[in-house]
Amino acid sequence: MFVVMRTGATDAEVNGVKGLILAEGLTPFENAGADRVVIAVVGEIGARRPQLKARLEATPGVATVTAISKPYKLVSREFHPEDTVIRVLDAVIGDGSLTVMAGPCSIESREQLLETVDFVAAHGATVIRGGAFKPRTSPYSFQGLGVEGLRYLAEARERTGLPVITEVMEPSQVDIVAEYADILQIGTRNMQNFSLLLACGRAGRPVMLKRGFGATIEEWLMAAEYIASAGNPSIVLCERGIRTFETYARNTLDLTAVPVVHHLTHLPVVVDPSHATGKRWLVKPLAIGGVAVGADGIMVEVHPRPDEALSDAEQQLDFPAFASMMDAVTAVHEHVRDLHGDLVRGANGGGANGGGANGGGPTGGA
């Protein structure tokens, strides 16, 4: 349920609505738009719905009370029409600029990480990635350097000034990872690890949520809703390929999901062509494709000597390939950033969506 306040509603009126919601054992989430405030009512409403709606409508300052048509509430465009823009250190995600998260699959040593981050930072990366805790299909594969890896990441941040992102695999790791990392990553196999989603939602750090390789778009957004419902609105989605019958590449990168997600939610979305394809030579064309369909950025794996990598050797870019890819995606990004806004937003149905407060669309902006 959404409570739309009147234009010019006072703080006291907004608080009155919130108080009524809290008194029902429900949680109010406020979105203060350019001209008016919207409050989402979250929790198990059940049979109370008609009476609660009537009481809210009769509360001072309330314009309308409406149902939300989607199962996800806080992450929907219905609740929050403006694009979410996330700022971490000097990086900005979701404002129409190109986010490039780059670094090794696994942090293997201090030298390997720093050599890589120096190169990618000098060639346009805006966020540093590197795995310290590694989810591996086999218990006998390299499981990552753990906290030692986190420390190297922190050193990488100091060296480059760029924020760092790394994966967290269980609720009890959230505190230690949040101590070192600027963005918490939830991996594809944990997309519906609900305890982890809630723990990350309470961690006070932006979260990047990878799509489960067996998950529908709706399930992905419901997983994001878990994070948002725990109080964290700073969520980046990451499309990394879904499992299909086609086996040439490791998974099938679902680039359709990018405009769909921009249409259904206000969250930024990046694509990960490294994990999707599992093949180095496919990373560049699909990074270009991802940016072209309107993604807010890409995540790619880079290693100084991919053939010696302890994980995902087949898909990591070497330095020249990363530089070549960056030239290409930067060029394409320049030419597509103004192409998508109207169409995606137009699909939201409103004639006014192309202008005014929502102006510019998902990849638009100043």
Is residue 217 a contact point for a second copy (CB under 8 A)?
yes
Sites for a second copy among residues 319-348 (CB under 8 A): 324, 328, 331-332, 335-336, 339-340, 342-344, 346-347
Helices marked H in the chain — which ranges? 11-23, 49-57, 110-122, 147-160, 174-180, 194-201, 217-229, 257-264, 273-277, 280-292, 319-336, 341-346
Which H/E stretch holds residue 101? strand 99-103
Residue closest to 279 by CA, chosen among 259, 251, 239: 251
CA 323, 327, 332, 333: dihedral to nearest 10 degrees? 70
Using CB under 8 A, which of 21, 113, 282, 326 touches a second copy? 282
Long-range pairs of 245-249 with CB within 8 A, sequence gap ≥ 24? 249/276, 249/277, 249/278, 249/279, 249/282
Under the binding rule (CB under 8 A), the answer on residue 63 touching a second copy is no
| Contact residue for a second copy among 256, 352, 355, 357 (CB under 8 A) | 256
Contact yes or no for 14/62 (Cβ under 8 A)? no
Tell me if 253 contacts a second copy by CB under 8 A.
Answer: yes
Asked if residue 292 binds a second copy (CB under 8 A), the reply is: yes
Min CB(111)–a second copy separation in Å: 20
**Closest CB 6 distance from a second copy, rounded Å:** 27
Residue from 263, 304, 354, 365 in contact with a second copy (CB under 8 A): 263
CB-neighbour burial class of residue 6 (10 A; exposed 0-12, middle 13-18, buried 19+): middle
To the nearest whole angstrom, how small is the minimum distance from the Cβ of residue 114 to a second copy? 25
The Cα–Cα gap between 192 and 185 comes to: 13
- Write the DSSP assignment of 128-183 as a string of letters: EE-BSS---SSTTS----THHHHHHHHHHHHHH---EEEE--SGGGHHHHHHH-SE
Q: Is 161 in the site for a second copy (CB under 8 A)?
A: no
Verify binding: residue 286, a second copy, rule CB under 8 A: yes
User: Measured from the CB atom, is 89 or 147 closer to a second copy?
Assistant: 147
Q: How many amino acids of this chain bind a second copy (CB under 8 A)?
A: 83
Stretch that binds a second copy, among 16-24, 82-90, 231-239, 276-284 (CB under 8 A): 276-284
Q: Does 285 bind a second copy (CB under 8 A)?
A: yes
Position among 79, 180, 213, 319 found at the interface with a second copy (CB under 8 A): 213
CA atoms of 314 and 252, how far apart (whole Å): 17
For 104-129, give the DSSP string: -SB---HHHHHHHHHHHHHTT-SEEE
Is 66 an interacting residue with respect to a second copy (CB under 8 A)? no
Distance between CA atoms of residues 40 and 222, nearest Å: 16
Q: What's the min distance (Å) between Cβ of 157 and a second copy?
A: 26
| Choices 2-10, 156-164, 166-174, 178-186; region in contact with a second copy by CB under 8 A | 166-174
Member of 124, 243, 354, 365 binding a second copy (CB under 8 A): 243
Q: How far is the CB of 49 from a second copy (least distance, A)?
A: 13
* Tokens standing for residue 301: 């794996």
Q: Does 23 bind a second copy (CB under 8 A)?
A: no
As measured in angstroms, the least distance from the Cβ of 85 to a second copy is 21
- Report the site for a second copy in 74-133 (rule: CB under 8 A): none
Copy the structure tokens of residue 236: 């980046």
Say whether residue 15 binds a second copy (CB under 8 A). Answer: no
Q: Does 176 bind a second copy (CB under 8 A)?
A: no
Q: Which of 88, 91, 207, 242 binds a second copy (CB under 8 A)?
A: 242
CB nearer a second copy, residue 193 or residue 234: 193
Write b or e for each residue in 8-19: b if 16 or more Cβ atoms lie within 10 A of its Cβ, otherwise e: ebeeebbebbbe
